[in-house]
Amino acid sequence: MSDKFLNCLFSKPKAKFALICFPWAGGGSNFYAQWGKMFPEFIEVCGVTLPGREGRFREPCSTDTEQILQDTCTALINRYPDRDLVFWGHSMGALYSLDTALRLKALHHKQPVRMFCSGISAPHAPERKISGSRVSTMSDSDFIEFLKKLGGTPEQVLSDPEMMKLFIPPLRADYVMMEGFSSQIGSEPPLSCPLHIFDGEDDVKHNLKAWEDVTSGETTTQFLPGGHFYLKEPSNQSYLISHISKSLE
């Protein structure tokens, strides 16, 4: 299970921390797995690979949120029974990482020692309540219009019919899966780990303040130059890797 879900290109058996990176909608794990060579030896990096992507491309994309969360937790516990876990998630990956953290705590009495969430409003924020049709009921053309309004998907992808044939199945599956993320945030924060929140200066405005309700631990917020995929810029990528590393020293 862990071999399918967790893509680790640079194994570090003596690392104290396992940095688990959750994909954005339609994304894979290789972008993050490459980070492993840039982190110090005390941090091992794994990208989460969902069905239908990269090494799992022969599997059908899944919209079963419950099964995905259960399988993710099982993979993490099997591979890292004693390692300190650190979660990073951008856009959909932030919501996915939070639901995984809540499930881990409920089922295994374990939570990340630190979390990094990026590029999206907190799950319980009013901004996350998208009006109109659910993605699961949209036609392909309506779904493409939905993506255009939402922002974040490169225009060269949206305007290329052949590319969209490849991207629509995982993108649609992920947005349907997002409809299943519950992330129940009550009057008391469900987590206690420190939480660092990042966003692109030129991205659409997100409700980052609401992320503070997720944890009783320290929270910080920082903006970096760029739009929704600011983290792909080499300078921002280097900054994030340095920031995460220093926070774990």
In terms of Cα–Cα distance, which of 106, 103, 86, 87 is closest to 23?
Answer: 87
How far is Cα 157 from Cα 226, in angstroms, rounded to an integer?
19
In terms of Cα–Cα distance, which of 228, 44, 198 is closest to 118?
Answer: 198
How far is Cα 88 from Cα 33, in angstroms, rounded to an integer?
12
Q: Dig out the tokens for 15 from the structure.
A: 């690392």
How far is Cα 132 from Cα 39, in angstroms, rounded to an integer?
42
How far is Cα 163 from Cα 206, in angstroms, rounded to an integer?
28
3-state helix, strand, coil in the chain (%, to 5): 45, 15, 40
Does 45 reside within a domain?
Answer: yes
Q: Is residue 243 annotated as a catalytic residue, yes or no?
A: no
In terms of Cα–Cα distance, which of 27, 26, 23, 152 is closest to 94?
Answer: 23
Q: The domain that contains 193 carries what CATH number?
A: 3.40.50.1820
Which domain range does residue 118 map to? Answer: 2-244
Residue 10: strand pairing partners: none
Does 196 reside within a domain?
Answer: yes
Say which residues have a Cβ less than 8 Å from residue 92's Cβ, sequence separation at least 6: 22, 23, 24, 25, 27, 120, 174, 175, 177, 178
Task: Identify the weakest region by mean pLDDT among 17-31, 73-87, 90-104, 140-154.
Answer: 140-154
Is residue 233 over pLDDT 90? Answer: yes
Does 86 reside within a domain?
Answer: yes
Is residue 184 over pLDDT 80? Answer: no
- Which is catalytic among the residues 29, 62, 91, 97? 91
Q: Is residue 228 annotated as a catalytic residue, yes or no?
A: yes
- Region 33-57: mean pLDDT is 95
> Do residues 10 and 78 make contact, with C-beta atoms less than 8 angstroms apart?
no
Does 20 reside within a domain?
Answer: yes
Give the containing element (helix H, strand E) for 22.
strand 17-22
> Do residues 102 and 115 make contact, with C-beta atoms less than 8 angstroms apart?
no
How far is Cα 41 from Cα 16, in angstroms, rounded to an integer?
9
Q: How many domains does the chain have?
A: 1
With 0-12 / 13-18 / 19 or more C-beta atoms within 10 angstroms meaning exposed / middle / buried, residue 49 is buried
Does 249 reside within a domain?
Answer: no
- Region 6-23: mean pLDDT is 96
Say which residues have a Cβ less than 8 Å from residue 143's Cβ, sequence separation at least 6: 135, 168, 171, 172, 175
> Do residues 233 and 201 make contact, with C-beta atoms less than 8 angstroms apart?
no
- Which is catalytic among the residues 90, 196, 206, 228? 228
Report the pLDDT value the prediction gives residue 131, as an integer from 0 to 100. 44
Report the pLDDT value the prediction gives residue 140, as an integer from 0 to 100. 83
> Do residues 181 and 95 make contact, with C-beta atoms less than 8 angstroms apart?
yes
Mean pLDDT of the chain: 90
Instruction: Encode pLDDT of 95-128 as tens digits.
Output: 999 999 999 999 999 999 999 999 999 998 887 7
How far is Cα 95 from Cα 25, in angstroms, rounded to an integer?
11
